Structure 1
Amino acid sequence: MLNRRVYGADDDEDPGPEEGHDYRELCGGPLDGLLVQVTGWTPESLANGAALITNNGRYGPGGRAEYEPRPGDPDRWDWVGDSP
């Protein structure tokens, strides 16, 4: 996962993944290729995926990009759409 960017870490000096943390890769949609840090998430939360704030989605600033775990490959989360 070297040289990968983590969602929400744009203002960090090093926006890459940190050792000892768990991540999921976002696939498709406005956050394609980013990693989302999921360290400490419950199994239920991981199974539900996430609605992540983004300025680049269908609804513009403050909108959310929705991602769900890929069947058979839960380390990758697929984009399922945008919401306001």
Structure 2
Amino acid sequence: MDELMRRRVYGADHDDPDPGPRPGHVYVELVGGPLDGLLLDITGWPQDRLAVGAALGTELGKFGPGGRAVYGPTAAGPGRWAWEADSP
């Protein structure tokens, strides 16, 4: 758990002095693709949304600024979402 607490959360400002997870929140680890290793805060997400994953804005993917990286749940465990594709 200590390792998880030192990780950066997707969407945290680059100049945030504490870009890590917050107590009381629920996170999934993003695996592969341009956002590999970041944590995504899924606190309060409904079950149907958790089942399909998310398209997350990023400038780091194939489509550059304005592009998205698509991540979804994996059989590897409920705490990990795998990269599926980049989209415009």
TM-score, normalization by structure 1: 0.95
- Comparing 70-79 with 22-31, greater Cα deviation is found at 70-79
Aligned-partner Cα distance in 1 for 2:61–2:76: 26
1:52 corresponds to which letter in structure 2?
L
What is the aligned partner in structure 1 of residue 26 from structure 2?
22
In structure 2, stretches of 5+ residues that fail to align are: none
Cα shift readout 1:12-34 (whole Å, capped 9, x = no counterpart): 32100000000000000000000
In structure 1, stretches of 5+ residues that fail to align are: none
What is the aligned partner in structure 2 of residue 50 from structure 1?
54
Aligned-partner Cα distance in 1 for 2:76–2:47: 15
SS at match of 2:34: helix
SS at match of 2:5: coil
> How many matched pairs?
84
C-alpha deviation, 1:3, in angstroms:
1.0
C-alpha deviation, 1:10, in angstroms:
2.5
Aligned-partner Cα distance in 2 for 1:58–1:34: 18
SS at match of 1:26: strand
SS at match of 1:31: coil
**RMSD between aligned alpha carbons?**
1.0
TM-score, normalization by structure 2: 0.91
Aligned-partner Cα distance in 1 for 2:6–2:25: 15
Which structure shows the bigger proportion of residues in strand conformation?
Answer: 1
